[in-house]
Amino acid sequence: MQLLGRSSGFQVASTHRPCTKGLWLWSSPIKRTALDGTEYSLLLLDSEGIDAYDQTGTYSTQIFSLAVLLSSLFIYNQMGGIDEAALDRLSLVTQMTKHIRVRASGGKNSAAELGQFSPIFVWLLRV
């Protein structure tokens, strides 16, 4: 399958089997222009799923945390509709965010500082 009209780069497929191991960064920035005319570079980052069958919970949490901290927009990709199992998986995502900590200058966790690192969250449902 192609992404951005290219035959190389991230492997994408409509399957539950993992295509990505760890974190992958697109090979080059994609130049874009915002509605206000500001030019910016878009970097695409792909990570393996949090429920990868061949990984430990600790490894998945580390990959997830790093992906969140590197992202300004986090897309949670889900196959199927919203049901109880989907809500359980989403709950797991929210639990994993508790592992992300920011130390303020005083040495205590600061919710305001953590907010500076929190990406926009998009729940993508693929049916």
DSSP letters of the chain? --BTTBSSSS---SSSS----SEEE-SS-EEEE-TTS-EEEE--EEE--TT-TTS-HHHHHHHHHHHHHH-SEEEEEEES---HHHHHHHHHHHHHGGG---B-TTSSB-HHHHHHTPPEEEEEEE-
In a domain, 109, yes or no: yes
Look at residues 81, 49, 77 and name the one whose alpha carbon lies nearest to residue 63.
49
In a domain, 114, yes or no: yes
Q: For residue 35, what pLDDT is reported?
A: 96
Task: Identify the domain containing residue 68 by its residue range.
Answer: 51-126
Q: For residue 68, what pLDDT is reported?
A: 84
Instruction: Give the number of residues written for the chain.
Output: 127
In a domain, 71, yes or no: yes
Q: pLDDT per position in the chain (127 positions), as tens?
A: 445 565 566 666 655 566 677 788 887 888 999 999 999 998 888 887 776 666 777 787 888 888 888 888 888 888 888 999 889 888 888 887 777 766 555 555 566 665 666 788 899 988 7
In a domain, 10, yes or no: no
In a domain, 2, yes or no: no
> In percent, how much of the chain has pLDDT > 90?
13
Tally of domains within the chain = 1
Look at residues 24, 119, 23 and name the one whose alpha carbon lies nearest to residue 76.
119
In a domain, 64, yes or no: yes
In a domain, 120, yes or no: yes
Q: For residue 2, what pLDDT is reported?
A: 45
